[in-house]
Amino acid sequence: MKIMYSIIAPIYNEIDNLPELYRRVKEVMDSNGEPWELILVDDGSMDGSTEKIRELAQKDKTVRPVIFARNFGHQVAITAGWDYARGDAIVIIDADLQDPPEVILELAKKWKEGYEVVYAVRGEREGESWFKLWTASIFYRLIYRITDVKIPVDTGDFRLMDRKVVNVLKRMKERHRFPRGMSAWVGFKQIGVTYKRAARHAGVTKYPFKKMFRLAINAITSFSYFPLQVATFFGFFSAGISILAIPVVIVMRMAGNGAFFGQATTLIAVLFLGGVQLISLGILGEYVGRLYDEAKGRPLYIVRDEPEG
Residue 309's pLDDT is 63
Angstrom distances, CA of residue 29 to CA of 19, 26, 104, 128, 305: 15, 5, 8, 28, 25
CATH code where residue 191 lies: 3.90.550.10
Verify that 175 and 260 share a domain, yes or no.
no
Residue 301 lies in a domain: no
pLDDT at 1: 43
Average pLDDT, consecutive stretches of 10 residues, N- to C-terminus, the chain (309 residues): 80 87 89 89 87 88 90 86 90 86 88 88 64 64 67 79 90 78 82 75 58 67 67 69 68 63 62 70 72 70 77
Say yes or no: 286 and 192 in one domain: no
In this structure, the answer to whether residues 195 and 241 fall within a common structural domain is: no
**For position 197, what pLDDT does the model report?**
75
Helices (H), the chain: 18-32, 49-59, 74-84, 104-112, 130-146, 163-169, 179-185, 209-223, 226-254, 264-296
Task: Please answer whether residues 15 and 52 qualify as being in contact, where contact means their C-beta atoms are separated by less than 8 angstroms.
Answer: yes
Can you name the residues that pair with 117 across neighbouring β-strands? 161, 190
Q: Which of 182, 199, 224 is the C-terminal boundary of a domain?
A: 224
Determine contact, residues 2/34, Cβ cutoff 8 Å: yes
Q: How far is CA 155 from the centre of its chain?
A: 10
92 and 109 housed in the same domain: yes
Q: How many angstroms separate the CA atoms of 255 and 234, rounded? A: 31
**pLDDT at position 242:** 67
Q: What is the number of domains present in the chain?
A: 2
Q: Are residues 218 and 237 in the same domain?
A: no
Give pLDDT tens digits for 268-297: 667 666 776 777 777 777 777 767 666 766
Residue 110 neighbours by CB under 8 Å, 6+ apart: 118, 160, 191, 193
Question: Domain check: are 177 and 128 in the same one?
Answer: yes
Full residue range of the structural domain in which residue 264 is found? 226-296
Q: Are residues 195 and 233 in the same domain?
A: no
Residues 306 and 67: beta-carbon distance below 8 Å: yes
In a domain, 156, yes or no: yes
Whether residues 72 and 90 fall in one domain: yes
pLDDT tens string 160-172? 999 989 999 888 8
Asked whether residue 46 is assigned to any structural domain, the reply reads yes
Enclosing H/E stretch for 157: strand 155-162
